[in-house]
Every structure is written in C-alpha cells, then in structure tokens.
Amino acid sequence: MEKQSRLLCSELCVQRRLYEVTLNCAILAWKDIQIAKKHTGRAIYGAVKAGSYCVPVCEIIAVQEKDDDTPCKNTGKWQKVPQSPADPCQHAFTVFYVERTRQHCWWCSNVTFHCSDHSLCLLWVQTIREQLALLTNRPKSLLVYINPYGGKQRGKQIYDHKVAPIFSRASISTDVIVTERANHARDHLKTEADLKKYDGVVCVGGDGMFSEIMHGLVSRTQQEAGVDENSMEETLMPCGLRIGIIPAGSTDCICYATVGSNDPVTSALHIIVGDSQAMDICSVHNEDRFLRYSVSLLGYGFYGDVLTDSERKRWMGPARYDISGVKTFLSHRYYEGTVSFLPAEGNLGSPRDKMQCRTGCSVCRQSSSDKLVSKNEDSVSDAECQDTWTVIRGKFLAINAASMSCACPRSPKGLSPSAHLADGTTDLILVRKCSRLDFLRHLLRHTNKDDQFDHSFVEVYRVKQFRFTPRYQECDSEVDLRESGVTGKRFLSQICREHRACGCMPSQSNWNCDGEILPHTAIQVRVHCQLIKLFARGIEEQQVFEDPYAHCAI
Ligand SMILES: Nc1ncnc2c1ncn2[C@@H]1O[C@H](COP(=O)(O)OP(=O)(O)OP(=O)(O)O)[C@@H](O)[C@H]1O
Ligand SMILES: CCCCCCCCCCCCC/C=C/[C@@H](O)[C@H](CO)NC(C)=O
Ligand SMILES: [Ca+2]
C-alpha cells in the first residue's frame, strides 16, 4: 500500500505510558514505545500488534481538547490535572472514533492523549479537525422524525439517550419532529419541509416509519421534477437527500439488511461518518393508479395475512407478528391467480447463486454503471418493451417479492439471502400449494442455514417487473363470461357458486407492502434501480471486524 506523508508525529502519553503518535491524511496511529522497542526488527504496522493501535481518519467522530476538570480515565474519579510544568500529562485531547464490536455493531470509543505542551495539544486538535473538515460526505445538518409509538414505544427515549449525544459530539445540528399522527412525517416532507437546509433525513422508528419518510421524499422529488407517479412508464428521479434509520420498530428489516444490526448507536455512527448506500425502490400500480413504493417485502398470501391479522393486535407490540404468524400458518390458506414477470438478464446473478450483497457489492456497482450508460443511450424502455413476459398460473400459499434480503432478527439471512440492495431487481418467490408440514419446513429454513428455495413447491426468479392478477379478476375468464352474457356481480356470484360445490371458498389475500396493507390485489410492479440513498454501507464482510486495521500502513 502506498505510504501517506506524515502530518504530525509526537511522543504523547496514553494512560501514563509513552506512545509514538502519528497522523497522516488517512490514519491516526499510536504505538507503545517500550513495547515497540522490544519488537525492533519486526513489522509493527500492517496489523494490530501488542501496543499498536490505529484508526482511519474517516472513522474519527470528533476530537476535543480535554478540560482540566474531567474524570480521569484510569480511576473514573473527578480530579484536577496537576499544575506542575514538568508533568507530561498536563494538557490533553480526546479522540472519539468508531470501534467495531460484535456482529456488525459499532461503538463510539475514545482515547485521550496527554502532553506537557499546550501549543502541541492545540496543534493536534486543529490538525485532526482540519482532516475531518475535508470529509465532505459527512452531514452537518439533519431533519429527524421520531415515531413515539413504533415497536416498544421507545423511539423518543432511544433518540434522546443513545443518538442525540453522539450527534452533538460530532457537531451535527438537528431539527427534531416527534410525530403526532400516522403520515405526519410523510406529509411534512412532501409539502412543507425546507429541504435545502438539510444534508439528510433521519427516521427513528421501524419499517413503517421508514416507508413514510421514503414516500415523502420520493414523492416530493417527483413533484419538483414534474414526474407523474401514476404513470408506470415514467423514469423516476433519484432523491438528493440520504435517509438514516435509527431502529426503533418491531421488525427493523430495512435497517438490519443495510447495516447488519438493529443497534441505534451503530446506525447513528454510520450517519455521522457519512456512509452512502444506494437502494432500489419498487413502484406498485393498479391500472393507471400509483399505490405505493416498496423497498423490502411485497408479500401476498402468507405475509399479507400475517400483516392483516397483526394490525388488529398492534397493542401487543412486536409479539403481534409471532401470534399472527402461528395463526396464519394454522389456517393454511392458498390463493389462485396469475403471476407474470420480466426476468432480469445480464450479469445480475440469480437468487440461488449464494453471492450475498455486501459493502461495495460488485453486482450493484455494475448496475450503477449500466444505469448511467442506458441513461445516456436512452435505450432501457425500448429494450424492456421487446422482452418477453413469463406467465405462471397456479395456487399459491405465498407470493413474495424481496427487493433486498429482508434479513431481520427473526430471519438473520432473510427471505432471499442473495437479493441485492441496489441491482435494479427483485427476487420473486412463489410458494405453491403444499402440505402444512412442507410449508413449515420451508418457513423454518428462514431461521436456519438451510436453503429455503430447495423444495419442489418453491420457485424463485430475479425480475425487473411483475404483475399479479387474482383468479376472480382474470381478464380471460371475464372475457369468456362476458362473451356468454355474464357480467359484473353475476360473474362473481358464478365463481362463488362453483366453489360452494367443491366445499371451499374463493378467497383473496392482501398485499403486505413493507408492512402496510395495499388496497388492491391486482398489481403491477416495476423496480427502479438506486432511487434513494441511505446513510449505510451495506453489510461489512466479517473479516473487517476480525482484522479491522489490516490496511493501517503509516
Ligand atoms: N405519532 C404517531 N401516531 C400513530 N402512528 C404513527 C405515528 N407516527 C407514525 N405512525 C405510524 O406508525 C406505524 C408503525 O410504525 P413503525 O414502523 O415505526 O413501527 P412498527 O410497525 O412497530 O415496526 P415495523 O414496521 O418495523 O414492523 C407506521 O406505519 C407509521 O405511519
Ligand atoms: C410458524 C413459524 C414461522 C417462522 C417464520 C419466520 C420467518 C420470519 C421472516 C420475517 C421476514 C420479514 C420481512 C419484512 C417485512 C417487513 O416489511 C414488515 C414490516 O416491518 N414485517 C412483517 C413481519 O411483515
Ligand atoms: Ca434489489
């Protein structure tokens, strides 16, 4: 690795031991001089060794000159720093930085450097601050919406106690709105908020709250660009502001699948360091009417029924999903209809290729450059028009479209473990009618390492667009019936009569769209590649946690 030129190098004390501390524009490093002497001749840097530490500048949260009256790190007791000019610990500054802990969680750690010379102390503080000021991707001003009723109703507490103090440490200014009703945040973003004042929007809540904020921002962006959301063919305009998610909901799948944890401090730190993760959005239409956007799960049948039942049990908090899950599983309902889709082609992989989307994902990067090329050539819609639709008709227990893995604490690898956050596709999973036992086997595989698609009754396709028509609305039957003189209500009653004869009722489910119920069952869905950006970086490879500073060459 290319060596960066040193900005500063001094001998400073940390917990009364002498360290050689160096700063270049990428890394702050400190090594215990006595331990380093013992290791003379051996490589100290390049990996974390005894007594050697380093932090990438881009993961420094803040630097602060230490006041005289502050708690001593060794004892935790408050004490006056000695005034003797010979005391090498007289002046001090503290560096706050990201530390990786367990399972993709980050923590705000700190180290205090002491020295006898005040001007040297100031020089260090000023130089580190200058380096931080060069990091232009970091937000300075944020608009924060808190849902006080999401999850276990701890959104406000989580923000006040865990997030606000680190935002203030990082000198981020915030305007905070605690919502007073459902859709308060969406409406405020869509029509009122002065978005020019902010570098990003923060959502404190669960997937439903995120959905509100995403709808507000996407709709506002389309309005300002003169794009008609009701037209499925329109190319939507990407949003300029990034969204940060502080998890405080019941499932928190969007946070979990983009960060790797549902820890509020980790999310706050990703916001502070100015991470950016592009994300696909599906638009959902019924005929020429725009219904909603989706970023995670669009589920009909099982997940639609779980959601419909769980909405009546909101008072139970997150446990409502477990109760409704078991109830829905026992009811074992299946639904008839036709699914048509446009398969994704090119280098977009397949839902079963085990290529998981991770930080810097090459599949998503490729989609980003393809998007740029097709924008310049204006050829995408023409090409798509020539594509052929695959049509599948059948009886389904579940139809799920996962635009991202949908990993969450209940299902750590998610509904579609190899789905990508920003590849412009969604994984369409069709679970055909099967026995209860088989369906249970399939569901349980969401919670363990086994392949949930390895069943004869499960099919999965990576698609760019899809449509669903429930059987009772199918045009063919309608045409047939119209041709034979049957119309409207008579058409429905005819189906019901047919079903009474065979002892089962034709039933319809609802679509679960990121945790909201859609008002229509016949829908048309199109994936819009990388329409929004989050303050996240995707899930880091585990190796980064095990050897975080392998790149720390000074
Ligand atoms: N002040 C409020 N009063 C009532 N409902 C609100 C308020 N603010 C937001 N909401 C609504 O609460 C719903 C649920 O919120 P949220 O997503 O935060 O939690 P959750 O449903 O428990 O979690 P998850 O979506 O992760 O399962 C959202 O659909 C949102 O529109
Ligand atoms: C009878 C055993 C059942 C075990 C099944 C476990 C599978 C859990 C998978 C959960 C995936 C959730 C996907 C995310 C959906 C969210 O959009 C939505 C709103 O938060 N949450 C739900 C539960 O619909
Ligand atoms: Ca995707």
Write the pLDDT tens digit of every residue in 411-469: 999 999 999 999 999 999 999 999 999 999 999 999 998 999 999 999 999 999 999 99
The residue with greater pLDDT, 519 or 176, is 176
Burial of 203 (0-12, 13-18, 19+ CB in 10 A): buried
CA atoms within 13 A on the CB side of 463: 25
Report the pLDDT value the prediction gives residue 516, as an integer from 0 to 100. Answer: 94
With contact defined as beta carbons under 8 Å apart, do 302 and 398 qualify?
yes
Instruction: Compute how many other C-beta atoms are within 10 angstroms of the C-beta atom of residue 362.
Output: 12
Is any atom of ligand 2 closer than 6 Å to the C-beta of 296? yes
- Structure tokens, 275: 């991470």
Residue of 156, 209, 517 to test ligand 1 pocket, by largest number of atoms within 8 Å of CB: 209
Instruction: State ipTM.
Output: 0.95
Q: What is the pLDDT of residues 301-313, one digit of tens each?
A: 999 999 999 988 9
Q: Whose CA is nearest to atom 22 of ligand 1?
A: 151
**How many Å lie between the centroid of ligand 1 and the Cα of residue 534?**
19
The rounded distance, in Å, linking the Cα atoms of 3 and 530 is 35
How is residue 86 annotated by DSSP?
T
Label each residue of 240-304 as H, E or C: CCEEEEEECCCCCHHHHHHHCCCCHHHHHHHHHCCCCEEEEEEEEEECCEEEEEECCEEEEEHHH
Mean pLDDT calculated for residue range 73-79 = 44
Mean pLDDT calculated for residue range 468-474 = 85
pLDDT bracket for residue 478 (50, 70, 90): very low
Question: Given the structure tokens 């002065």, which residue do they identify?
Answer: 194
Alpha helices in 378-435 (DSSP H): 380-386
Residue of 446, 448, 510 to test ligand 2 pocket, by largest number of atoms within 8 Å of CB: 446
Q: Whose CA is nearest to atom 5 of ligand 2?
A: 443
Q: pTM score, two decimals?
A: 0.88
Nearest CA-CA partner of 539 in 400, 417, 425: 417
Ligand closest in space to the Cα of 211: 1
Is any atom of ligand 1 closer than 6 Å to the C-beta of 426? no
- Beta bridge partner(s), residue 2: none
**How many Å lie between the centroid of ligand 2 and the Cα of residue 111?**
41
pLDDT bracket for residue 519 (50, 70, 90): confident
Report the pLDDT value the prediction gives residue 35, as an integer from 0 to 100. Answer: 82
With contact defined as beta carbons under 8 Å apart, do 344 and 462 qualify?
yes
Q: Residues 319, 178, 61, 15: is their CA dihedral positive or negative?
A: negative
Question: Given the structure tokens 């039933």, which residue do they identify?
Answer: 507
The rounded distance, in Å, linking the Cα atoms of 83 and 507 is 81
- Beta bridge partner(s), residue 390: 341
With contact defined as beta carbons under 8 Å apart, do 30 and 12 qualify?
yes
The rounded distance, in Å, linking the Cα atoms of 150 and 249 is 5
For residue 515, give the ligand 1 atom closest to its CA.
25
**How many Å lie between the centroid of ligand 1 and the Cα of residue 207?**
8
Residue of 252, 253, 322 to test ligand 2 pocket, by largest number of atoms within 8 Å of CB: 253
pLDDT beyond 90 at 552: no
Strand extents, DSSP E, 34-85? 52-56, 60-65, 70-71, 78-79
Is any atom of ligand 1 closer than 6 Å to the C-beta of 515? yes
Q: Whose CA is nearest to atom 9 of ligand 2?
A: 411
Ligand closest in space to the Cα of 258: 3
For residue 148, give the ligand 1 atom closest to its CA.
1
Phi, psi of 73 (to 5 degrees): -65, -35
Calculate helix-pair angle for 320-331, 302-311, nearest 10 degrees: 130
Nearest CA-CA partner of 13 in 114, 120, 124: 114
With contact defined as beta carbons under 8 Å apart, do 66 and 79 qualify?
no
Is any atom of ligand 2 closer than 6 Å to the C-beta of 307? yes
- Structure tokens, 10: 């001094």
Phi, psi of 527 (to 5 degrees): -90, 130
Domains and CATH numbers, the chain: 11-135 (2.30.29), 138-276+535-548 (3.40.50.10330), 281-527 (2.60.200.40)
With contact defined as beta carbons under 8 Å apart, do 538 and 270 qualify?
no
Q: Whose CA is nearest to atom 3 of ligand 2?
A: 443
